[in-house]
Amino acid sequence: MSSPFLPPCETRATGPSRRQFLAGTAGIGLVAGLPVGSVSATTMMLEEAIRGVVGEAALHQGRVTLDVPPLVENGNAVPLTVTVDSPMSEADHVKAIHVFNEKNPQPYVIGVVLGPRAGKASISTRMKLADAQRVVGIAEMSDGSFWSGEAHVIVTIAACVEDLN
């Protein structure tokens, strides 16, 4: 005889039990989570991408300022301004600015080529960020030296990896 104190799943003959259901959904979550995890760039990829630009040269800290909001709600369009402290003269100017990120599927954001004609070494754009992460700016000077600056951004709604359904 069935007692009213028995858990309901003991008496139910049809349909999956709560335990089976939870185990099943956990499996779905794990499978669905895999491709998302595998497309994230890692700190190692960031370092490699930076090495690809800088090569064997020394990377100095400073002179590059990244202006990014510290907390953004929507990672689909994050305003970014990179400013490099340089007189922008024929003898001393910024040749190129590169921006990298840490956790998007690819470490590259933008690379621009400037010259003494720019007058001011500053660029602005809007980028996508897949997660709360570090954004690094590298400036290549006319004397061949490299300078870097970075900013941390906290993103509440990520870009890039969201589904459309």
Partner 1 sequence: MATLINVPAKVKRGEVIEIKTLISHPMESGYRVGTNGKVIPRDIIRRFVCTYNGEEIFHAELSPAIAANPFIAFFTVATETGSIEFKWTGDNGFAASERASITVE
Interacting residues with partner 1 (CB under 8 A) = 39, 76-78, 101, 104-106, 108-115, 117-129, 159-165
Q: Which is nearer to partner 1, 6 or 164 (CB)?
A: 164
Residue 86: CB minimum distance to partner 1, A: 12
Residue 129: CB minimum distance to partner 1, A: 8
Q: Specify the DSSP element, H or E, that contains 136.
A: strand 133-141
- Here the tokens at position 75 are 């990672």
Q: Which is nearer to partner 1, 54 or 108 (CB)?
A: 108
Gyration radius of the chain's alpha carbons:
24
Q: Which is nearer to partner 1, 72 or 147 (CB)?
A: 72
* CA–CA separation, 10 and 20 (whole Å): 13
Place of tokens 């402290």: 85
Q: Which is nearer to partner 1, 25 or 124 (CB)?
A: 124
Residue 82: CB minimum distance to partner 1, A: 10
